[in-house]
Amino acid sequence: MFLRITDYIFDAYLGGIKPDVRTKDWFLVDNIGVMISASALYLIVCQFGPKVMYFFHPFELRRPIMIYNAIMVFINGIIFYLAASGGWFTHYKFLCQACGSVNEPISYKMARATHLMMLSKYVELIDTVFFILRKKKRQITFLHVYHHSTVMYMFWGAAHGHLTLMVLVNSFVHVVMYSYYLLSQFGPSVQKYLWWKRYLTRLQLTQFVGVILHSLVVLHPSCNYPPAIALLPSANIFIYFLLFINFYMKNYTNKRQNAEMLMQSGKSLGTMCFTDPKLD
């Protein structure tokens, strides 16, 4: 009974589009239970990890973090290439892109890009592990935890078509973001050239707005793309957007106002550095 209900819901979600049978045996595709279990385990680690680390000194993880950031730049670069050459820089239509035929060889490349993006979201859970091991509890915010525990689902249900613009844009943003994190590990000699870090959050906000507006195109009657596949992830992206706006206002606008008030009071502030939490 339960399986029939879930099958009905999934068929309604797909809007009559048949799943791409080529992806059925791909790693972590056919069993969403693994994804749910990973999210649950992640939340448990976020809850109890900092409490366990209370009894230990913070770990110095500079080199592992540098290697990790370099790997993430490389992975997202591959994803961007696959998404670009598999559709968005070749034959995809920006205003409305229907799901391609599973018999098209090029659609296989887009499906691979989406699959690799989904897997990369599992890898990105390491971000939080680094925060816990370094005792950076301040950076494990609700935004950070909510984002990491839900983002993998958004790349699970659509292997090609309109929604995959999110794969292209998100991979580009992550190349920029992890490049910044990598360069920032090289110390003051390089950090002085990273003045553009304040624009990372703006870039992410722009990404959210662009993807949300792009998904609304599927509401037009002439667009042959299942609305639920595009609109449900976009609803989650809208939540990300609101949380990021709140973060941006707290970390830049409010601090800037406080700085101006202190300056007017005749207090010397010295050098101020507003650090972005490591978010994707």
Alpha carbons 241 and 244: distance in angstroms, whole number: 5
C-alpha gyration radius of the chain? 21
Catalytic residue, from 115, 144, 147, 162: name it: 147
Name the nearest CA neighbour of 50 among 126, 148, 147, 136: 136
* Catalytic residue status for 115: no
Alpha carbons 16 and 224: distance in angstroms, whole number: 11
Alpha carbons 214 and 163: distance in angstroms, whole number: 9
Name the nearest CA neighbour of 114 among 10, 26, 223, 218: 26
Helix (H, G, I), strand (E, B) or coil at 95: coil
Alpha carbons 11 and 96: distance in angstroms, whole number: 21
Give the number of C-alpha atoms closer than 13 A to the C-alpha of residue 164, restricted to the C-beta side: 33
| 226 contact partners, CB below 8 Å, separation of at least 6 | 13, 14, 15, 16, 17, 99, 218
* Pair of tokens at residue 203: 């870039």
Alpha carbons 254 and 248: distance in angstroms, whole number: 9
CB 128 within 8 A of CB 146: no
Give the distance, in angstroms, between the CA of residue 15 and the centroid of all CA atoms in the same chain: 25
CB 239 within 8 A of CB 142: no
Active site amino acids: 147
